[in-house]
Amino acid sequence: MTSLTDIWPAFGLILTTPRLQLKPVQDTDLPALLDAARSGIHEPGRNPFGVPWTEVPEEELGPNMARWHWTCRSTTTPEKWTLLLGIWHDGEIIGCQDVSARNFNFLKTVGTGSWLKQSIQGRGLGKEMRAAVVSYAFDHLGAEVAESEAAAWNEKSLGVSRSLGYELNGTYRTNWGPKVEEVQRVRLTPETFKRPDWTLKVEGHELFAKFLGIHQEAKGDIPTRRDGGPSATYARARLRPPVGSASPTRAQRRSPSDRSGAAGGV
């Protein structure tokens, strides 16, 4: 019988660390994820997200969260994808870690964002979940750069980045909702990555990578179609070079991290 994973192979991906399991959020997980968010993510008035999705009237949080998860799934293609991974710890969903990319086969760059319920922050779990997705991106997807960002005051988020070896990559000034923020960009490569002392367990990678059309050719190779011409993805990437508004940095700034129920920057 056909399973949901046969239809949507992303649902088969499971990343396991010593204390956490990261799996794409399914609809049946949304109520528990909403409860985790409702339990509190940050101090009131201290919004850490590009879109202040936690600061909406109580009754809007659930529909907005569902909308964001459905949007990310329905707009996922090899050219542009956002994977929203639920974080399970001791059998309970405690937050969300996203990883996203645009023109991945061309740019080999991912962006990340995350949140954890407040009661469980500060125990190294935020670092563990980011180390998981970055390890997956570098070692399995073949990413060459991982980018992220956080409000310049967000020491918890920047603490995770610092601890994993991210380098500062400039700041910009913007408004998050009505508030003006100084945002710190950060950047990690396989060379600067301070790897964890554990090895990530990965299940469901092959089908996931195939689903997203991810090529893992040797550096410098141009992916080819069966007829020998450039692949459709590569051809499209060449037609839309990553400049200006099409750059992953800008796109990611407004995509995974910023929306409701996803993550937030770093």
Residues in contact with ligand COA by the rule CB under 6 A? 41-42, 48-49, 114-116, 121-127, 150, 154-157, 159-160, 163, 264-266
Residue whose CB is less far from ligand COA, 156 or 236? 156
Extract the tokens encoding 128. Answer: 């563990």
C-beta contacts of 54-57 below 8 A and 24+ residues apart: 55/177, 56/260
Q: Are strands 80-89 and 21-24 parallel, antiparallel or unpaired?
A: antiparallel
Minimum distance, C-beta of residue 5 to ligand COA, in the bound complex (Å): 28
Residue 45 near residue 153 (C-beta atoms within 8 A):
no
Residue whose CB is less far from ligand COA, 214 or 262? 262
Residue whose CB is less far from ligand COA, 155 or 182? 155
Close Cβ partners of 81 (under 8 Å, ≥ 6 residues apart) = 100, 101, 104, 212
Residue whose CB is less far from ligand COA, 143 or 164? 164
Cβ-proximal residue to ligand COA, closest one: 126
Tell me how far apart the alpha carbons of residues 121 and 94 are, in angstroms, rounded to a whole number.
10
Minimum distance, C-beta of residue 98 to ligand COA, in the bound complex (Å): 11
Residue 190 near residue 137 (C-beta atoms within 8 A):
no
Minimum distance, C-beta of residue 150 to ligand COA, in the bound complex (Å): 4
Provide the residue type at 263 as one letter. Answer: A
Minimum distance, C-beta of residue 6 to ligand COA, in the bound complex (Å): 33
Residue 105 near residue 234 (C-beta atoms within 8 A):
yes
Minimum distance, C-beta of residue 7 to ligand COA, in the bound complex (Å): 31
Residue whose CB is less far from ligand COA, 154 or 233? 154
